[in-house]
Amino acid sequence: MTEKTSRENNPVFSRRSIRKFLEKDVPAAAIGEILEAGRAAPSAKNRQPWKFIVYGGRPKQALLRCMEQGLYRERHGEPLLPKSAFGLPDARHTLRVMRHAPVLIIVMNTNGKNPFLPLDGDDRIAEICDTLSIGAAIENMLLTAENLGLGTLWIGNTCFAYTEMMECLRTEGQLVGAVALGYADEHPAARPRKELREIVEYRWEE
């Protein structure tokens, strides 16, 4: 087996970010398998700081109206992230993707606090560790979805509408992001990656 063939059969390399989905329901069993994969991820001190809220249909559209209100406020009112305003057009595009995806999985940090409030050093380190753990859970979910023939989009643009979405979610913890899920209606090419020599240093002695 060649290296190229090996990579093509490996979901780590075959997975793509999907922004166009078919109007086709995702089986409940597949959603359950994806959530189980997230639950199996490693976590700092085994805190398992994740919570997944699965949205579809009218509840999803209601939640996304809250996100739209937040994006409007960010552009025309008092922004939470004024230095990141350049990302608002992308966030609006992401909102359109979320509206068309059959399933939206909201990802929460159950130990997290409002990211716009100050933290001391201990709490900051704990939050970093929990965020790393949640990232592992999300990656497990993305790769499992790929194995099941489903497309995903890992979403962080919820940050712009943090306040409005938290009001709509009515749950404790910190909104980390979301995963859009469905059957892909596109086959995007791989995005460029940095060469290993740009990102790796070896430091050891024989």
Which whole number is the average pLDDT over 68-74? 98
pLDDT grade for 206, boundaries at 50, 70 and 90: confident
Task: Kindly report, residue by residue over 19-43, the tens digit of the pLDDT.
Answer: 999 999 999 999 999 999 999 999 9
Q: How many residues does the chain have?
A: 206
Q: How confident is the model at residue 8 (pLDDT cuts 50, 70, 90)?
A: confident
Q: What is the DSSP code (8-state) at residue 11?
A: H
| Residues contacting 20, CB < 8 A, separation 6+ | 97, 100, 184, 185, 186
User: What is the chain's mean pLDDT, rounded?
Assistant: 96
Domains present along the chain, CATH in parentheses: 18-186 (3.40.109.10)
pLDDT tens per residue, range 111-151: 999 999 999 999 999 999 999 999 999 999 999 999 999 99
State how far the Cα of 103 lies from the Cα of 134, in Å rounded to an integer.
19
The predicted pLDDT at position 150 comes to 98
Q: Determine the Cα angle at 24 with ends 28 and 5, to 5°.
A: 85
- Yes or no: say if 147 and 12 are a contact pair by the CB < 8 Å rule: no
> Is the full-model pTM beyond 0.85?
yes
Strand ranges (E), the chain: 50-55, 103-109, 151-155, 174-182
CA dihedral 20, 182, 60, 132 (to 10 degrees): -100
What is the pLDDT averaged over residues 174-187? 98
pLDDT, position 186: 97
